[in-house]
């Protein structure tokens, strides 16, 4: 199928061009023509600023049911986790499909064309496998298809409650018992046109050190992405030091987990040596600023990590909000608060984290750019809303990052398919109702 999209303005990686014709065939960009002042005959007009589709590199879809609930009162990451377990306990393959479909549709409305789903709710409550051991993961893959987005299912090993501790009653449904059993089950997952399969170590506290290499080896053999929650909380660092005499980053390095296909999520509380190890390995760092501030995690050393050699990506994680433009903005603005200086990243650098580098971290190295050969994934941000009106279109990248929100997204194209048109999802007709109904089904 051939479709030509005409972008009123397009960000081409370094600058904004007016009047860009983007020709696509069978889901890929075949030509990009500039200096096209009006839509060619038969072209689909995208009014505003067109960017590559954005990649949400870290998602727990079921956390969307927590929005507005965990903001009541005070507490810590650990009290938040108790509320999260309550929702996880009630998930079934059918209810998870419904919630994930609605959540991924919300992502598409916010300009996200690909999601990295960090998936660890594998079994029935109590730990009994479903008749299809991958029923939950397959529900997520099906949900992404119905929402019209790509997915990398990061099937997650989660084997213990802490260093030397058996899973608690909530965590039994997360655990396969051993890394070998996890690997056998995960190997049965099948990729699809819109879906790729990756791996994840939930954290060093959830995968015993002597089983880390099994997960890393599984990903290496398949040249698959490997993600891991890293040093989100100082309590994890302290427990790791007590158990192993080293930091979580050092432990991962010792067991072959770090590398260019690895993404460390959060990486908030690091030593100088940790930063050198991550940067030297070329491991991507996935920052999730809206979740990190919601949970009072702290501000990670993203500037130093990037300087050490780590690419940066962005994720909405717990979905306190789903807005990759806000994640990009927050990474810069949080660093300004800490350092009391401005301008750590250009708008272009922040957009690369939200697009090209995010896709690469999820195993979609052929996405995140508007150029021939790339996947035809596009998102268009309005330049005439109350938030974005006024600046010159040549400052569209700065306007998108520092003023726009996901509510300003007008179009999302995934593989040449117009999934969101004029702010309306074409596959899920009433996304707010789908969210409300799927969340109500999990209320306890």
Q: What residues are annotated to the active site?
A: 266, 317
DSSP state of 8: E
Nearest alpha carbon to residue 315 among 286, 352, 294: 286
φ, ψ of residue 380 in degrees (nearest 5): -120, 125
CB under 8 Å, gap of 24 or more: what pairs does 70-75 form? 70/294, 71/294, 71/320
Nearby residues of 81 by Cβ (< 8 Å), 6 or more positions away: none
DSSP H or E stretch at residue 280: helix 272-281
| Residues 28, 415: Cα–Cα separation, whole Å | 6
Q: Copy the structure tokens of residue 403.
A: 């003023």
Check: CB of residue 378 under 8 Å from CB of residue 416: no
In order, the DSSP letters of 24-54 are EETTEEEEEE----SPPTTPEEEEEEEEEPE
| Residues 78, 398: Cα–Cα separation, whole Å | 37
């Amino acid at each position: 199928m051939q479709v030509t999209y005409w972008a009123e303005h397009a960000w081409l990686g370094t600058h904004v061009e007016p009047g860009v014709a983007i020709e696509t065939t069978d889901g890929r960009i075949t030509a990009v023509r500039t200096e096209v002042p009006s839509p060619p005959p038969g072209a689909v007009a995208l009014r505003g600023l067109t960017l590559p589709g954005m990649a949400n590199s870290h998602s727990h879809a079921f956390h969307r049911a927590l929005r507005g609930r965990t903001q009541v009162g005070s507490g810590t990451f650990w009290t938040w986790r108790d509320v999260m377990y309550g929702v996880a306990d009630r998930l079934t393959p059918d209810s998870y499909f419904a919630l994930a479909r609605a959540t991924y549709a919300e992502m598409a409305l916010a300009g996200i064309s690909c999601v990295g789903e960090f998936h660890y709710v594998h079994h029935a409550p109590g730990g009994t496998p479903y008749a299809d051991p991958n029923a939950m993961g397959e529900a997520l893959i099906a949900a992404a298809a119905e929402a019209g987005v790509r997915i990398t299912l990061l099937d997650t090993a989660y084997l213990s409650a802490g260093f030397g501790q058996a899973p608690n009653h909530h965590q039994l449904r997360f655990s396969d018992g051993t890394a070998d059993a996890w690997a056998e089950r995960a190997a049965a997952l099948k990729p699809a046109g819109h879906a790729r399969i990756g791996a994840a170590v939930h954290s060093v506290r959830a995968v015993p050190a002597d089983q880390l290499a099994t997960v890393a080896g599984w990903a290496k053999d398949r040249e698959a992405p490997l993600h891991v929650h890293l040093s989100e909380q100082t309590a994890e660092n302290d427990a790791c030091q007590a158990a192993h005499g080293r930091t979580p980053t050092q432990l991962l390095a010792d067991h072959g987990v770090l590398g260019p296909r690895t993404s460390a999520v959060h990486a908030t509380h690091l030593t100088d040596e940790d930063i050198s190890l991550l940067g030297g390995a070329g491991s991507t760092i996935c920052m999730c600023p809206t979740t990190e501030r919601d949970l009072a995690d702290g501000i990670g050393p993203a500037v130093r990590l990037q300087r050490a050699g780590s690419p940066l990506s962005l994720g909405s994680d717990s979905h306190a909000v789903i807005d990759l433009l806000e994640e990009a903005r927050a990474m810069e603005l949080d660093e300004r608060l800490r350092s009391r200086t401005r301008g750590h990243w250009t708008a272009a650098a922040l957009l690369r984290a939200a697009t090209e580098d995010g896709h690469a971290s999820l195993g979609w190295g052929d996405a995140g750019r508007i150029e021939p050969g790339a996947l035809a994934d596009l998102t268009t941000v309005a330049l005439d809303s109350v938030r974005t009106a006024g600046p010159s279109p040549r400052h569209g990248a700065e306007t998108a990052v520092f003023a726009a929100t996901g509510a300003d997204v007008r179009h999302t194209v995934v593989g040449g398919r117009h999934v969101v048109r004029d702010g309306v999802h074409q596959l899920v007709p009433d996304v707010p109702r789908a969210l409300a109904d799927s969340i109500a089904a999990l209320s306890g």
